[in-house]
């Protein structure tokens, strides 16, 4: 037996059991970072259909395909070929990605599946690896893509994209948590766990739409331009391209009291944090919407 690949776990009876760490290869921290719910597709993004009412964003009502989970590190690597995350874990949300990175991933996945890319990203540059003396710190700094011009098609696009604020407010809440914060432990990864790290997606219960981690784990980038905060951290003031976007929801650093639907965070589009990732949406094709399926 190779001692480097096994660990002794003490049972309550006082008997020792040999546990192979090979079974925990999807996440180096094992159950410490949660165990995904059985039956949830994690090899590639999967979607459920949510109906968006006609009053939202001034559009006629439509069906929206919403990612069951946040995009995972494995899913990101499969499309983009890189591993940007601060805390590596196959089935944990990808993080340390800029808004532009998230848009580029949506485009790449759309092109892979023969769909229309929803973003035109122009005059883009790649940030150099973070180093001592750069703005921020190792888990919050400028990273990935930064683009001087962005065009977004929006709900009329048939490809993958980031959600609007109005779309997020249709599907992002958790009724049980809104009714009582005491229910939060069953639905969200937040600061009360005393673990300053993400957990594997779908480790908690889904919300009423069948979506996991809409609250907690990581904040999620939205396709929404934002105003600069009234008070801007000194580290952000040193960034040349200062375009702000909204991130919705909360993350593993958030408190129980912050777990509510309309919790938003304005952030530089070129800034990446270990507390921010994203979830994809896609306007359902007419034939899929008519059948009530999720393609």
Question: Are residues 3 and 92 both part of a single domain?
Answer: no
- Whether residue 217 contacts residue 198, with contact meaning beta carbons closer than 8 Å, is answered with yes
Question: Are residues 121 and 7 both part of a single domain?
Answer: no
Question: Are residues 53 and 67 both part of a single domain?
Answer: yes
Question: Are residues 81 and 132 both part of a single domain?
Answer: yes
Question: Are residues 81 and 161 both part of a single domain?
Answer: yes
Question: Are residues 164 and 275 both part of a single domain?
Answer: yes
Question: Are residues 43 and 164 both part of a single domain?
Answer: yes
**Which of the 8 DSSP states describes residue 14?**
S
pLDDT digits (tens, 9 = 90+) for 42-89: 988 899 999 998 876 677 789 999 999 999 999 999 999 999 999 899
Q: Can you give the residue range of the structural domain that contains 131?
A: 38-291
110 confidence band (pLDDT: 50, 70, 90): very high
Question: Are residues 120 and 25 both part of a single domain?
Answer: no
Place of tokens 């952030």: 267
Q: Is 244 helix (H, G, I), strand (E, B) or coil?
A: strand
Predicted pLDDT of residue 182: 66
pTM for the full model?
A: 0.82
- Whether residue 241 contacts residue 148, with contact meaning beta carbons closer than 8 Å, is answered with yes
270 has a pLDDT exceeding 90: yes
Domain count of the fold of the chain: 2
Q: Is the dihedral of CA 175, 66, 83, 129 positive or negative?
A: negative
Question: Are residues 170 and 286 both part of a single domain?
Answer: yes
Question: Are residues 18 and 142 both part of a single domain?
Answer: no
Question: Are residues 58 and 167 both part of a single domain?
Answer: yes
pLDDT digits (tens, 9 = 90+) for 190-217: 676 556 788 889 888 888 899 998 888 8
289 has a pLDDT exceeding 90: no
Region for residue 66 given its phi and psi (left: phi exceeds 0; alpha: psi -120 to 50; beta: otherwise): beta
**Which of the 8 DSSP states describes residue 186?**
G
Q: Indicate which CATH number applies to the domain containing 49.
A: 3.90.1580.10
């Amino acid at each position: 037996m190779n001692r480097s690949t096994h660990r002794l776990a003490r049972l309550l009876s006082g008997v020792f059991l040999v546990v192979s760490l090979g079974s925990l290869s999807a996440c180096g921290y094992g159950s410490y970072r949660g165990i995904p719910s059985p039956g949830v597709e994690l090899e590639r993004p999967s979607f459920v259909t949510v109906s968006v009412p006609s009053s939202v964003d001034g559009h006629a009502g439509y069906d929206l395909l919403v990612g069951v989970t946040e995009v995972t590190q494995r899913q990101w690597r499969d499309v983009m070929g890189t591993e940007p995350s601060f805390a590596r874990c196959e089935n944990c949300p990808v993080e340390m990605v800029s808004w532009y990175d998230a848009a580029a991933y949506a485009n790449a996945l759309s092109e892979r599946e023969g769909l229309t890319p929803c973003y035109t990203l122009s005059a883009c540059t790649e940030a150099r690896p973070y180093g001592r003396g750069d703005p921020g710190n190792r888990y919050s700094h400028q990273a990935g893509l930064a683009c001087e011009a962005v065009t977004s098609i929006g709900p009329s696009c048939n490809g993958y994209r980031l959600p609007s604020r109005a779309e997020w407010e249709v599907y992002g809440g958790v009724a049980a948590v809104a009714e009582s914060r005491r229910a939060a432990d069953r639905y969200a990864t937040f600061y009360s766990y005393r673990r300053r790290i993400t957990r594997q997606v779908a480790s908690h219960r889904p919300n009423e739409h069948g979506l996991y981690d809409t609250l907690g784990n990581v904040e999620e980038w939205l396709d929404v331009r934002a105003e600069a905060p009234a008070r801007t951290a000194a580290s952000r003031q040193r960034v040349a391209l200062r375009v702000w976007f909204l991130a919705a929801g909360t993350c593993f650093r958030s408190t129980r009291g912050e777990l509510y639907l309309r919790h938003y965070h304005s952030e530089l589009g070129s800034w990446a944090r270990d507390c921010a990732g994203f979830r994809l949406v896609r306007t359902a094709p007419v034939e899929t919407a008519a059948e009530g399926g999720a393609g």
